[in-house]
Amino acid sequence: MKNDTNKDSYQIMLDEVQAFHDKHQFKEKGGEDMTYRISLMAEELGEISACVTKGKGKENLAEECADLFILVIGTAISQNFDLKDAFWKKMKKLESRKSKMINGKIRVSEFRD
């Protein structure tokens, strides 16, 4: 793992995931196929759900969330989009949205009346 203080933390994470893809030849061996990646993300969501519903603790939950985050970063790499830019654009949209209580839970969305 590199520790380059000249880069922001997202760039360091992006570089680490890219190095992982390169090391295991994801591009050449099907690891960047979107159908495959979606199934891996669904699997990780299931593992996150199991952590919560089965009370497996914060450490296990954090690890499973990290797995999902790594897959999301890898998807940005494989599909060649700027996830950091997409994040900030989406946050700007979310900031303008209203919230509602639905079934006792807060929900922020584009509500259509």
- C-alpha to C-alpha distance for 70 and 64, rounded to whole angstroms: 10
What is the CATH number for 70?
A: 1.10.287
Residue 4 has pLDDT above 90, yes or no: no
- Residue 89 covered by a domain: no
Residue 33 lies inside a defined structural domain of this protein: yes
Please list the alpha-helical segments (H only) found in 24-57.
Answer: 34-53
Inside any domain, residue 23: yes
Predicted TM-score of the model (pTM): 0.85
Mean pLDDT score, 26-41:
97
Domain assignment of residue 35, yes or no: yes
Other CB atoms within a 10 A radius of the CB of residue 36 amount to: 13
In a domain, 54, yes or no: yes
Look at residue 90 and tell me if it is in a domain: no
Residue 105 corresponds to which tokens in the numbers above? 């839970």
Is 103 among the domain residues? no
Per the structure, the complete domain to which residue 65 belongs is given by 9-83
Q: Are 81 and 72 in contact (CB under 8 A)?
A: no
> Could you give the CA distance from residue 32 to residue 26 in angstroms, rounded to a whole number?
6
The reported pLDDT for the residue numbered 98 is 93
Does the pLDDT value for residue 33 go beyond 80?
A: yes
State the total domains in the chain.
Answer: 1
Is 100 a member of any domain? no
Asked whether the predicted pLDDT for residue 2 surpasses 60, the reply is: no
